[in-house]
Chain A
Amino acid sequence: DYLQEDKMLWRTIRSMEVMAHSSSFLLPKLHQPAKTPANNYTLVVLNQQLPRFMPRLWAQAKMRICADGGANRIFDEMSQMTNDLDRNRYIPEIVEGDMDSIRPEVKRFYSSQGSKISDKSHNQETTDLHKCISSIRHRTPDHEKANLCVLVTGALGGRFDHEAANINVLYVFSDMRIVLLSDDCLIQLLPKTHHHEIYIESSVEGPHCGIFPIGAPSTSTTTTGLKWNLSDAEMRFGSMISTSNIVDSDKVTVQSDADLLWTISLRNLT
């Protein structure tokens, strides 16, 4: 009975919660829209060259955490980006991790400036990013979790196994909003439990985008707002995945039976 099937499908869509996404954290602080899906940003800095727009992220974040050698990066690179020689203006609240990359003088400097040094060297089972996300989650009261968004720099590129481990952190902590950022793009998880509405900030991102079934295939994904939309489509590595797609609207929607990774290119931001 096709009518009965249609009614059931509609009920499923209607009862699935909507998760809204926006990259408004990339806008200059003055241009923040009144309503954003999350307004409590925590920044995690991993040990790779800082993206050009790091000063924007730093200004947006209420809490900044350097994961081990990420502290070297802030120490060395932040002043060049801001033309501001005063390192005291960029003190992370926390320096966390196994401390095998941070230089001793950098650790001493931030410790003396009030950063909390959270030494997790006894725990060799998890990556620095995993440790940081776990701590953030532990520290965030339940009622604030929905508003929290963790912005991460330095997670992509470099050693491929590190990149894969960092992507896996998105899957392991799938109930948290975590955005991995590089100079070229951002990526975030779209959990299968939700219907996703992605608001595109075209002054800072796009038009290139993609959707990937990393970890497990999708038997059914449907999108709107893309140049090449998917309609109940199967996606699988070894078959079709959505790369080099183009955003065609201010709002992209995605619904799938599998956890998907969303990526969008970033415009030249400084």
Chain B
Amino acid sequence: PLRPSPLGPRAQVRVCADGGANRVFDGMPELLPGHARDDVRSRYKPDVIKGDMDSVRPEVKEYYSNLGTKIADQSHDQDTTDLHKCVAFITDNSPGSDKSNLCILVLGALGGRFDHEMGNINVLHLFPNIKIVLLSDDCLIFLLPRTHTHSIHIERSVEGPHCGLIPVGTPSTSTTTTGLRWNLDNTHMSFGGLISTSNIVDEDQVMVTSDSDLIWTISLRH
């Protein structure tokens, strides 16, 4: 995305999925043009490069490897997407069995080839107990599993007001919300019928209860 990421210094583990390493290698110096390229690259160094390694440039892989980045080559496993491999890796390697504090922030999962985007959205559904947030310049999305009532805190300085709730996998016979301009009240949602898009967050807290897994999306400010 277009801004130098404030996520950098805060994230505890940074993983590049295959060609994501090319993006960090090329893109971070471009976002911070006043600084020496090698300084930027060592400051924004991934901890791991993981995936099937068919996109990462050899010189990029070597550069980060020399800086201490772990190269986790999974080119033998063609059945899962790069994102799936990364999420599985992160959950396998995070301390303790309690994943409730774990939050995985993902860049580059939206846009581009639609089958990739769908595969990435499917990863959210495959790991419903892990908070995985897909981010783009324009918006973020994450899954609201049907097993819980959700309380979404809105950070108004960086996100909103446009939002939506989307039943990607199965229709919802009943969804109820508070905090939106057009709240749902035991409302039926389905593709081919009503889905909640171009909604507006009206309060700092949005509550959602549903009988179906929903994708929550909110726009990001500049």
| A and B pair up | yes
Q: Are B111 and A185 in contact, with the CB atoms below 8 A?
A: no
Contacting residues, chain B, for A239 (C-beta < 8 A)? 126
Q: Bound complex: CA of A82 vs CA of B31, how far in Å? A: 32
B115 touches A162 (CB 8 A): no
**Bound Cα distance from A259 to B170, whole angstroms:** 12
User: For residue A156, which residues in chain B have a CB less than 8 angstroms away from its CB?
Assistant: 111, 114
Contacts of A210 on B, CB cut-off 8 Å?
114-115, 118-119
Question: C-beta contact mask, A187-198 vs B, less than 8 Å → 1, else 0?
Answer: 100000000000
- Contact call A159/B138, Cβ cutoff below 8 A: yes
Are B164 and A168 closer than 8 Å at their CB atoms? no
The interface stretch among A7-15, A106-114, A241-249 is A241-249
B145 to chain A, nearest CB (A): 10
Contact across chains for B138 and A215 when beta carbons are under 8 A apart:
no
Establish whether residues B197 and A164, one from each chain, have CB atoms under 8 Å apart when the complex forms.
Answer: yes
B22 interfacial by beta-carbon distance below 8 Å: no
Interface: A20 (CB within 8 A) = no
Smallest CB separation, A6 vs chain B (Å): 31
A162 contact set on B, CB distance < 8 A: 197-198
**Contact indicator A160/B141 (Cβ below 8 Å):** yes
B95 interfacial by beta-carbon distance below 8 Å:
no
* CB <8 Å contact, A160 and B110: yes
B168 to chain A, nearest CB (A): 6
**Closest approach, in angstroms, between the C-beta of B214 and any C-beta of chain A?**
11
Q: Say whether A38 faces chain B, with CB atoms less than 8 Å apart.
A: no
Which B residues are in CB contact (< 8 Å) with A187?
A: 114
* Bound-complex Cα distance A164 to B195 (A): 8
1/0 per position for B148-172, CB-CB distance to A under 8 A? 0000000000000011101111110
Of the listed residues A161, A167, A208, the one surrounded by the most CB atoms of chain B closer than 10 A to its CB is A161
Indicate the member of B118, B199, B219 with the most A CB atoms within 10 Å: B118
B126 nearest in chain A by CB position: A238
- Does A226 sit at the interface, judged by CB under 8 A? no
- For the complex, is B176 an interface residue (Cβ under 8 Å from A)? no
- Number of residues on chain B facing chain A (CB within 8 A): 41
Given A159-B162, A208-B115, the answer on whether A259 and B168 have CB atoms closer than 8 Å is: no
The listed residue (A161, A208, A212) touching B113 by CB distance below 8 A is: A208
A72 at the interface (CB under 8 A from B): no
B191/A214 in contact, CB under 8 A: yes
CA distance A241 to B117 in the complex (A): 12
Contacts of A212 in B (CB 8 A): 115, 118
* Nearest chain A residue, comparing its CB with the CB of B213: A238
Q: How far is the CA of A167 from the CA of B167 in the complex (A)?
A: 12
Interface size grouping (class) on chain A? 35 or more
Residue of A at shortest CB range from B111? A157
Question: CB distance A215 to B197 under 8 Å?
Answer: no
Q: A244-B81, A259-B192 in contact; A160/B164 too (CB < 8 A)?
A: yes
Q: Does A19 belong to the interface (CB within 8 Å)? A: no
- How far does the Cβ of A69 sit from chain B's closest Cβ, in whole Å? 14
A244 near B121: Cβ-Cβ < 8 Å: no
Cβ-defined contact, B118 with A161, below 8 A? no
Q: Are B217 and A241 in touch, CB under 8 angstroms?
A: no
Q: Is there an interface contact between A161 and B167, defined as CB atoms closer than 8 Å?
A: no
Contact between B114 and A164, CB atoms less than 8 A apart = no
Q: Across the interface, which residues of A come within 8 angstroms of B115, CB to CB?
A: 185, 208-210, 212, 243-245, 263, 265
On A, residues with C-beta under 8 Å from B are: 127, 156-162, 164-165, 167-168, 171-172, 174, 182, 184-185, 187, 208-210, 212-217, 236-239, 241, 243-245, 259, 261, 263, 265
Residues in B lying within 8 Å of A, measured CB to CB: 81, 110-116, 118-119, 121-122, 125-126, 128, 136, 138-139, 141, 162-164, 166-171, 190-193, 195-199, 213, 215, 217, 219
Ordered by A's residue number, 29 sampled pairs between the chains whose C-beta atoms are within 8 Å are: A160-B139, A160-B164, A161-B196, A161-B199, A165-B164, A168-B191, A168-B195, A168-B197, A174-B192, A184-B114, A185-B115, A187-B114, A208-B113, A210-B119, A213-B169, A215-B167, A215-B168, A215-B190, A215-B191, A217-B170, A237-B121, A237-B125, A238-B169, A239-B126, A241-B122, A243-B81, A243-B115, A243-B119, A243-B122
Beyond A184-B112, A212-B118, A243-B118, 16 additional contacts (C-beta under 8 Å) are A127-B197, A127-B198, A158-B138, A159-B162, A159-B217, A160-B215, A161-B198, A161-B217, A210-B115, A212-B115, A214-B118, A243-B122, A244-B115, A263-B114, A263-B115, A265-B113
